[in-house]
Chains A and B, each alone.
Chain A
Amino acid sequence: MRVTTFVLSVAFFVAAISLSPPATAAHKFYTSFAQIEYNDERETVEVALRVFGDDMETVLTRRHGKAIRIGKTEDAAKVIFAYVADSFQLQNRDGAAKKFEWVGMETKGDVAWLYFETKMPEGLTGATLRNRILLDFSDEQVNIVHLRHSGQKADLVFKANDSDFKKCF
């Protein structure tokens, strides 16, 4: 039997680092949720993204080879946003990548809400999105995206095997 060999890269730079255990109750689950709203007045796409803080910390710690703790590490927001910019990608109807600007973050329990936006006068019609947040953390991760644009609504779901851009509207 002939088997094709593929080369794999492992999504981390440094060897395993001892991490504090996640604060979960009996079952661990892996979901992120994003609300994307188009602001007609400001012509911006506004994103509120909910993730589990401990999962985010684990991924960022691996990425940077040093412990990253939300609310403790000095440049945590910068590090988080660099990761978001890599994993949460929006293209306009012509396929041009949109660059997000960081607005801020807040935490509640083990949940962190991240806020960012981008100017987009051309609107979301025909735009495409790829949300690979934390898909490099667990193969059970599910990313749900809720979109609203001038009275229209849409839902997108990204799972481990979704590496394609998906059409917003």
Chain B
Amino acid sequence: MRYLAALVVCLVAAASLAFAQTKSQPSDKFRQLEEILPTPNEYRAASGAPGHRYWQQRADYAINVELDDAGQRIVGSETVTYYNNSPDSLNYLWLQLDQSIFAKDSDAVMTQVAPDLRPPPAPPTSGWDRSPSAPLPQVPFSTIDRTLAQSTFDGAVRVTSVRDARGNPLAHTIVRTMMRVDLHAPLAPGQSTAFSIDWNYNINDARRLGGRGGYEFFPKDGNYIYEIAHWFPRMAAYNDVSGWQHKQFIGSGEFTLEFGNYRVSITAPDDHVVAATGVLQNPQAVLSQPQRARLEQAKTATQPVLVVTPNEARQNEASKPKGKKTWVFNAENVRDFAFASSRKFIWDAQLHNVEGNRVMAMSFYPKEGNPLWERFSTQAIMHTLNVYSRYSFTYPYPVAISVNGPVGGMEYPMICFNGPRPEEDGTYSANTKYGLISVIIHEVGHNFFPMIVNSDERQWTWMDEGLNTFLQYRSEQEWETNYPSWRGEPKEITEYMASESQVPIMTNSESVLQFGNNAYAKPATALNILRETILGRQQFDFAFREYSRRWKFKRPMPADFFRTMEDASGVDLDWFWRGWFYTTDHTDISIESVQLYALNTGNPEADKTMTRKGRAAEPETLSQQRNRALPKRVDQFPTLKDFYNTYDELVVTERDRAEYQKFLATLNDRDKELLSSGLNFYVVNLKNIGGLVMPVIFEIVYADGTKEEMRIPAEIWRYNNSEAAKMIATKKEIASISLDPHLETADVDMSNNSFPRRPVRSRFQLFRQQTTPNPMQQLERKQTPTTPSNP
């Protein structure tokens, strides 16, 4: 093989060169994480499991709430029973008023950074948006509209009363999105206390102001869809790691709360249909007889049954309410409660058996959601429950609901809000279809992380979004072959990994840059790599399931996840967590060079022949070539020639042979076999350019056309994080070696992955060279001019 330099050296001599280095670089990337992780204690064990004295608080709620459809308001009153299971006495309690993010002077509003209002420096190339005379600065429409809406809308929560169990007022202080309630006497460990709160607020227009809940107005029929979340004063979490988790709600760090039981009575106009966390307790009071019969029928159906038909929804849309109805829901062991209400809702349901647990899967959507919603929503719910249960634990709740409204995608226990709809004419693009299925899988999947595995999203977005996006990817791939997932595959993350403006995954939720890539796509991809490349599916699935089960209905922290995955898989993954979660390093491994070493057998016949060959193979220099023809003095005067003019050091002498026989006599049979094996030793020199230590996966192609894959664990970098050499001993001749042949390590630069170097086509060139464009591309190519038209 002509690409590899053929060197004849003594292997022992080559190895000794390794010791000639100066002091080695410390192997930082393999330092144990215990220097960073919190010290294990009786609450959180070193294995990553809950400790033997693990505790968590509990809060039960009884709530009466009225939805004011005329004024778009929520008016509620609740009784909270709070159980102090901590070893600490509590003088006061903290509650969240997250809806106050819509106060005119909230942190979210006040800390918004201004848009750029400077005029553009260069004249525009076309006059689309700008007046022809002077270039004016531009501002996004959404910014103006939101700013306008924020200045006129007051969405702050008004707390009108806080009383103890006897009805006596309790002192309370509101600190923006948090409220402190001062107790008359400290709440001792093991005790509980009950208190009541009355409150109200104006519901936000989710289309204009955004939000994780809110209303949507339909001008055509004059009706609203309400998606109501973050709507009642909720007990802030109190735990062994952060004490009170009362970090202000600014918008990105969603929430973490305590588990408890809920009984919620929702009063709404009598033509509304209400969907909520939990099980409906009074169907006879709120549903018609035929509707109750259909709901019963859904329990044995093999496809979703319409409980409220499109026709009934249409009639409701046109009706005026004659009064109010109160819908009563019970929910057990949930960390939050949300609901949706509208007279526009169509409702379908199908009872689904998830590993023996009977779950009512239901969807609520306006006619504007069809034909997509009736076809895919409830199916997507059932599919999600199946896949997630298989990889974590059996879905434990009795219902699972997906609602269509103004919120793009947001999760709550047993219920989630999903935005995508078809066009007005009922057609839809593939993007909308797969966007809808994906968002439903994602939001229903959130039931597992963080609604049940109760991680703290106000602190760590990745702990639920990352794990959930990972399982979302796997659910999508089990929906149909080649499902267009855009998060999960290593090759899809390389651009982000190489980008400059990023922070480590282990960054607080509110400070994350490139949110979707950082907290969703990167951890999902990391887990996929951990599963496929580092641990293998069996080991990974066992460990991931163990983590899910250990922390089901409990509150894990990042260290609990890292430790459990190691504890259950039996593999030290500290380097992996360190690289992927604590740094912004990326994978870029390069094959710098390959050298061929042949064995010095000691046999003068073989060695001297090889040396001669090696010398002959060396190129003749330009001067040597030109000097060859010059007349030489020793030829002119042959007496000048002596012994050395004819001596050839590479001719094998009797003495050489005798020495060799003496040498052979000192060897045992095994040594002799090794010497005559005819092995080639290839040394592949690797450089770690991206900084992330990752396994090295070689595809070796031999001169005889056969191939071999060699998978080397990341520990090859443990002595030197930036350079490593691997020796491959083979009798065959190697024609080429390439790195990461199956695109499993997210290597950002494939152009240095082969020896000899192979040109790598850019995305642009791949697109250009596609011989068969897909239908959409054909359409686009046909209709596209070669130059832009300037109107």
Q: Which residues of A contact B (CB under 8 A)?
A: 6-13, 16, 18, 20-29, 31, 33, 35, 37, 39, 46-48, 50, 53-54, 62-63, 67, 69-72, 74-78, 81-86, 89, 97, 99-111, 113, 115, 117, 130, 135-139, 142, 144, 146, 148, 155, 157, 160-165
Complex partner residue of B517 from A31, A39, A130, CB under 8 angstroms: A31
Q: How far is the CB of A22 from chain B (nearest CB, A)?
A: 5
Please judge, given known A-B contacts A21-B419, A111-B486, whether A26 and B129 are in contact too, CB under 8 Å.
no
Q: Which of B130, B498, B767 contacts A106 (CB 8 A)?
A: B767
Q: Which of B121, B498, B777 contacts A146 (CB 8 A)?
A: B498
Q: Do B129 and A29 touch across chains, with their CB atoms under 8 A apart?
A: no
Closest to A15 in B: B141
Tally of contact residues, B, Cβ under 8 A: 95
| Cβ–Cβ contact A35 & B762, under 8 A | yes
Contacts of B128 in A (CB 8 A): 63, 82-83, 86
Per a CB cutoff under 8 Å, which of B140, B432, B768 touches A11? B140
Q: Report yes or no: A165 in contact with B520, Cβ–Cβ below 8 A.
A: no
CB contact between B439 and one of A6, A24, A35, A82 (< 8 Å): that residue: A24
B519: A residues at CB distance < 8 A: 27
User: Within 8 Å CB of B432, what residues of A?
Assistant: 20, 23
Chain A residues in 8 Å Cβ range of B776: 71, 106-107
Does the CB pair A50–B465 fall under 8 Å? no
- State in angstroms the CA–CA spacing of A70 and B438 once bound together: 19
Known interface pairs A26-B409, A146-B498; A69-B768 also in contact (CB < 8 Å): no
* Residues A48 and B408 in contact, CB atoms below 8 Å apart: no
Give the chain B neighbours of A33 by CB distance below 8 A: 495-496, 499
Contact B438 A23 (CB under 8 A): yes
A21–B420 CB distance below 8 A: yes
Q: Are B142 and A137 in contact (CB under 8 A)?
A: yes
| Shortest distance between the CB of A64 and any CB in chain B (Å) | 9
Give the contact stretch, choosing among B157-165, B196-204, B422-430, B532-540: B422-430
Given the complex of chains A and B, what is the CA–CA distance between A70 and B485 in angstroms? 18
Sample 5 A-B pairs with CB under 8 A, ordered by A number. Answer: A8-B117, A37-B764, A70-B429, A102-B786, A142-B514
- Cα(A94)–Cα(B789), bound, Å: 25
Q: By the criterion CB–CB under 8 Å, are B501 and A9 in contact? A: no
**Are A136 and B762 within 8 A (Cβ)?**
no
Could you say which residues of chain A place their CB within 8 Å of the CB of B469? 25
Quick check: is B186 within 8 A (CB to CB) of the other chain? no
In this complex, the member of A70, A104, A130, A136 whose beta carbon has the largest number of chain B beta carbons within 10 angstroms is A104
- Knowing A48-B762, A48-B767 are in contact, say whether A161-B116 is a contact too (CB < 8 A): yes
Contact between B436 and A164 (Cβ–Cβ < 8 Å)?
Answer: no
B129–A31 contact, CB under 8 A?
Answer: no
B729 within 8 A of A: no
Interface status of B560 (Cβ within 8 A of chain A)? no
- Note all chain A residues with C-beta closer than 8 A to B517: 29, 31
B438 pairs with A109, CB closer than 8 A = yes
What's the nearest-Cβ distance from chain B to residue A116, in Å? 9
> When A21-B406, A85-B126 are in contact, do A8 and B139 touch as well, CB less than 8 Å?
yes
Q: What chain A residues lie within 8 Å of B411 (beta carbons)?
A: 26
Closest residue on chain A to residue B216 by CB atoms: A21
Q: With contacts A155-B499, A160-B115, A165-B122 known, what are 5 further pairs, Cβ within 8 A? A: A11-B141, A24-B439, A25-B472, A48-B767, A110-B486
Q: Are A9 and B788 in contact (CB under 8 A)?
A: no
Alpha-carbon distance between A89 and B432 when the two chains are bound, in angstroms: 30
Residues of B within 8 A of A162 (CB): 116
User: Once bound together, how far apart are the Cα atoms of A161 and B140, in whole Å?
Assistant: 13
Q: How far is the CB of B419 from chain A (nearest CB, A)?
A: 3
Q: Kindly report which residue of chain A lies nearest to residue B208, judged by CB atoms.
A: A16
- Chain A residue, CB-CB nearest to B775: A71
Q: Is the CB of B429 within 8 A of A69?
A: yes
A100 to B516 CA separation, bound complex (whole angstroms): 30
Q: Which of B119-134 contact A (CB under 8 A)?
A: 120-122, 124-126, 128-131
Contact yes or no, A25 B438, CB < 8 A: yes
User: In the bound complex, what is the Cα–Cα distance between A37 and B767 (angstroms)?
Assistant: 14
| Residues of B402-459 whose CB lies within 8 A of A | 406-411, 419-423, 427, 429-432, 434-436, 438-439, 442-443, 446
Q: Which residue on A lies nearest to B515, using beta carbons?
A: A29
Complex contact A23–B785 (CB within 8 A):
no
Whether the pair B423, A20 counts as a contact (CB closer than 8 A) is: yes
Contacts of B780 in A (CB 8 A): 76-77, 104-105
**Chain B contacts of A18 at CB under 8 A?**
219
Whether, in the assembled complex, B763 has its beta carbon less than 8 Å from a beta carbon of chain A, the answer is yes
Structural contact, B419 and A104, CB atoms closer than 8 A: no
**B136 contacts the other chain (Cβ, under 8 Å)?**
yes
